[in-house]
Amino acid sequence: MPVPLAAEPVPVTGWGRTAPTSAQVLRPGSYEEAVRAVRECGGRGAIARGLGRAYGDAAQNAGGAVLDMTGLDRIHEIDAAGGLVTCDAGVSLHRLMQVLLPLGWFVPVTPGTRYVTVGGAIGADIHGKNHHLSGSFTRHVRALELLTGDGGTRVVTPEGEPDLFWATAGGMGLTGVILAATIELLPVETAFMSVDTERAADLDDLMARLAADDHRYRYSVAWIDLLARGARTGRAVLTRGDHAPLDALPPRLRREPLAFRPATRLPAAPRFTPGGLLGRRSVGLFNEFWYRRAPREQRGRIQKLSAFFHPLDGLPEWNRVYGPGGFVQYQFVVGHGEEDALRRIVRRIGSRRCPSFLAVLKRFGEADPGWLSFPVPGWTLALDIPAGLPGLAAFLDELDDEVAAAGGRVYLAKDARLRPDVLARMYPRLDEFRELRARIDPRRAITSDLARRLGV
Ligand SMILES: Cc1cc2nc3c(=O)[nH]c(=O)nc-3n(C[C@H](O)[C@H](O)[C@H](O)COP(=O)(O)OP(=O)(O)OC[C@H]3O[C@@H](n4cnc5c(N)ncnc54)[C@H](O)[C@@H]3O)c2cc1C
């Protein structure tokens, strides 16, 4: 059957909606169709796309082909005794949770949304609130099936072809199209979390709390108020927890402890934001409210998985509240020992009065083996900023320089604006990655807007 080619190129953007470009969007329904799409792509090449949750231009390809992989969504095999699943790369983590939780298994790593595909999770080598303990997603991948730029497919394992495997982990789709993967799972007794919450008075208090006892929790993250200044700079609400064991549940929840019932999805967010709704004043008020409503200290609260991991998934298309100009998500990491750089950057963001209400700070564990994987041991901060904020581009360029000078890096899955010279300073294995790409895909059949922008 022919690959269903879109007749005309259509606009494609990332989740931040900042840099739309047009491409022919193909939706292969079989591996054979995906192979044909890569073999027959024109001079502008092709890139795989999952659910489009990368914020920037990673899953875009101006003038070329974009392979929407969500048509490949079969779960091939579940080893319910050994905790392994083999599925197509277009399967979402949401679907895996629906199918696996009733069997007592959970995905090894989940980001802040479960609407990402397995291919996107490997492509960006995503991290979750458990990075300090479990590392990034691809550490839990036993094997993947890869369609390379020459149209050939192969099964790649960390033991058999470590270079190709670890270049693909976090390689932003640029080593080829992942068709399927085998993933190790985490056993759980319930679909609920046991959560401890505490407030931190400022950034130093927060870092001290994270450093002192993150190791006691499987999951840990802090919401941070980036509009607070002076003595309150970096005040935060810290939530940490683990999967609730069966005996921690109240009797009414014990009847169906593994039922996965995410919070009801609300109507889609408004497409337009009346001017000022996301201005400094309203975000400042929101942050004040958010900080004060959090308990000073609370232990062992039982919460649904979806409320703990994916609060934003209850509001579809929430990315539209930023209006037609979209928004930038800026996420960087600086290593342990670079706390002063983090303090400086947090102060600068505060003084710049960036109206950011979705800011999170997390302490990463060991670095991952992926050549372009983002996490390194240290502190990662992620914040949303409306793209229309005056002077934003120059401000973020300055932050990039500060991050790079501290030996840190910016996360490519969130990026749409980094400069190529800065990228090379941030990712020391970039040249090796480029060489591998040139070797396995000399005709550059696999490429993206991000690859062209950054010269990857
Ligand atoms: C609300 C929200 C919260 C988030 N929280 C986190 C977080 O906590 N941690 C984190 O790490 N990330 C987080 N992200 C980012 C998100 O997890 C990643 O961008 C992820 O890659 C998105 O997966 P996707 O299926 O939507 O892929 P897309 O966005 O469509 O693509 C992302 C990249 O993966 C590649 N890719 C996709 N499918 C394939 C495939 N089959 N083969 C090869 N390459 C492929 C693409 O080429 C692209 O480079 C968050 C995003 C949102 C919107």
Q: Using one digit for the tens of pLDDT, what is the confidence trace for 370-422?
A: 999 999 999 999 999 989 889 999 999 999 999 999 999 999 999 999 999 99
Q: Which of 67, 92, 113 to mutate to test the pocket of ligand 1 (most atoms within 8 A of CB)?
A: 113
Q: Which of 49, 114, 361 to mutate to test the pocket of ligand 1 (most atoms within 8 A of CB)?
A: 49
Ligand 1 binding pocket includes 374 (Cβ within 6 Å)? no
Q: Where are the beta strands (DSSP E) in 50-167?
A: 65-68, 75-79, 84-88, 105-106, 141-147, 153-156
Nearest atom in ligand 1 to the alpha carbon of residue 175 is: 43
Distance (Å, rounded) from C-alpha 156 to C-alpha 48? 17
Give the residue range(s) of CATH 3.40.462 domains in the chain. 192-418
Q: Which residues contact 119 (CB under 8 A, 6 or more apart)?
A: 48, 50, 69, 89, 90, 173, 177, 178, 181
Say whether domain 72-188 belongs to CATH 3.30.465.10: yes
Distance (Å, rounded) from C-alpha 96 to C-alpha 87? 9
Q: Is the pLDDT of residue 282 over 90?
A: no
Distance (Å, rounded) from C-alpha 266 to C-alpha 280? 25
CA 222 to chain centre: 16
Contact present, 437 and 164 (Cβ < 8 Å)? no
For 192-418, CATH gives 3.40.462
Going by the DSSP 8-state scheme, the letter that residue 5 receives in this structure is B
Q: What is the DSSP string of 398-417?
A: HHHHHHHHTT-EE-GGG-S-
Residue 354 — very low, low, confident or very high, per pLDDT cuts 50/70/90?
confident
Give the residue range(s) of CATH 3.30.465.10 domains in the chain. 72-188
Contact present, 61 and 46 (Cβ < 8 Å)? yes
Q: Which residues contact 246 (CB under 8 A, 6 or more apart)?
A: 189, 190, 254, 257
| pTM over 0.85, yes/no | yes
128-181 confidence digits (pLDDT tens)? 999 999 999 999 999 999 999 999 999 999 999 999 999 999 999 999 999 999
Residue of minimum CA distance from atom 49 in ligand 1? 172
